[in-house]
Amino acid sequence: MVERKCVGCGIIKNRDDLIKITKQKTHQDLVINGDSKIFGRSVYLCYNNSCIEAAFKKNKLQKTLKTPIPQELKGKLLNEF
């Protein structure tokens, strides 16, 4: 069992119970819940709106991924999860 920390709430959970957002190393594209074969910088979020809101409110995604985050990503995450 591999555990990761949610950037929204800071709780450590099983990796399968979290949303994975990866900035690809080659193309600099953001991928949501990509497979483990995508290399790059990743961040994890819980499957709830409060963690998603907290991560965007405090710019935690932008700081961790070291790239500007488009606002469309927030809407996509809130709608899908």
pLDDT digits (tens, 9 = 90+) for 4-41: 999 999 999 999 999 999 998 888 889 898 777 788 89
Say how many CA atoms lie within 13 Å of 68 toward its Cβ.
Answer: 3
**pLDDT at position 53:** 93
Level-2 CATH architecture, domain 3-80:
2-Layer Sandwich (3.30)
3-state helix vs strand vs coil in the chain, percent to 5:
35, 30, 35
pTM of the model: 0.88
pLDDT digits (tens, 9 = 90+) for 36-72: 778 889 999 999 999 999 999 989 999 999 989 888 8
**pLDDT at position 27:** 84
Beta bridge partners, 5, equal: 12
Residue 77 has pLDDT above 80, yes or no: yes
3-state secondary structure (DSSP) of residue 41: strand
- Spell out the alpha helix ranges (H) of the chain: 49-57, 60-65, 71-80
Strand order in the sheet with 18-24: 30-32, 18-24, 40-46
